[in-house]
Amino acid sequence: MTLPRLALSVIGDEIGPTLEDMISFAHEHGLKRLDMRTVNGRNLLGMTKEEVIAISRRLEQAGISVPAFVSPMFKWQAPGRTTNGGKVDFAFDPAECPAPNLVNHAIQIAVILGAAHMRIFSWLRYDGFKPEHMGQLSGELSKLMGQASHYDITLQLENEPVCNIGNIAELADFFTPRQAEPETSTDAQDEEDAEEAERPHSDQIYLRPLVDIANAWATGEKPSDADIGTLAPLTTAIHLKDRDLSARRTVPLGDGDVPWPDELRRLLSGVQARQVLASIETHCPHDGRNATAKSLAGLRRIAAEIGVEIV
């Protein structure tokens, strides 16, 4: 069985904070793609269009494309809900958006970058979350999906431990179609039908799972075959990093405890796309440049071991 190719990318700010850090690393290692999230510590969603245009032009001049806008969309408190607290990496306050319409601004950033993918979350974790809340508590997801469809941008919903969809099981549950209930005339059933109508479904091609296996292992989860089987056919992008589980820290890809050859082979065996965006998310800020270089080498070793082509 031929496994899909991996389109290699790196999240730029995992290398260093400045655009020149990112570009010099890409040239040094023959990278053609960088996913964009922050520059000089500022999230792109908090920048003006003019600032993002300048970044995009500089990357284009350097011969680097941007496959994904690694946005912080919905990595904040849900409307009317209280979070469980805790440290949040790369959190974002919607009030920091310089434009009056957050959804339009986010999509415009992706368009300016030429990004075919845009990462989103499921709000910071709170008690009582249900998958249908993504459609109920805010109209922003529906608006975002409408804009994504118009501009042919795929929204990638990541399993992030501090968010409501935090592991692979929760991600698979979100993308599992619900069976239609028998028709009844009760008010309760009418309410359930209304809730289901507001819930995004996996057959909407502009909403996909962004599978982060290391995030799952970090929570103590070892993803099941059934959950991977649910997600793999829908997968067009993945994040790659590794974990030292006993030390509870992220390490360069291939240096940790996640059994990456087996996990990557298992996931890619069920993928239907011919090519998957494979983004290195090093998460080693104390030594980002060197750790990212090690992660690139680690991915190439793993890919060679399982017979996957990297492009």
Number of C-beta neighbours around residue 239 at 10 A: 25
User: Which regions in the chain score pLDDT beneath 70?
Assistant: 85-86, 178-204
DSSP single-letter state for residue 141: H
State the greatest distance between any 2 C-alpha atoms of the chain, in Å, as a whole number: 66
Cβ atoms of 242 and 255 closer than 8 Å:
yes
- The secondary structure of residue 83, as a DSSP letter, is -
Nearest-Å Rg of the Cα atoms of the chain is 19
Whats the size of the chain, residue-wise?
Answer: 311
Contact (CB, 8 A) for 45 and 93: no
At residue 47, the 3 state secondary structure works out as coil
Q: Six-digit token pair at 162? A: 């501090």
* DSSP per-residue string spanning 153-196: -EEEEE--TTBSS-SHHHHHHHTSPPPPPPP---HHHHHHHHHH
Residue in 213, 215, 211 with CA at minimum distance from that of residue 233: 211
Amino acid in the structure at residue 143: K
Dump strand ranges (E) for 98-168: 117-120, 154-158
What percent of the residues of the chain are helix, what percent strand, and what percent coil, each to the nearest 5? 40, 20, 40
C-alpha 189/C-alpha 3 separation (Å) is 44
Spatial distance between the Cα atoms of 109 and 194, rounded to a whole number of angstroms? 33
Ordered by where they begin, the domains of the chain are 5-176+199-306 (3.20.20.150)
What's the whole-model pTM score? 0.91
Q: 92: closest CA among 120, 70, 72, 119?
A: 72
Task: List the one residue out of 267, 160, 145 whose CA is nearest residue 205.
Answer: 145
Hey, which residues does 154 pair with through a beta bridge?
A: 117
Tokens representing residue 66 in the block: 């941007």
Q: Comparing C-alpha atoms, which of 153, 262, 180, 179 is closest to residue 217?
A: 262
Cα-based distances in Å from 57 to 8, 61, 71, 110: 21, 6, 19, 14
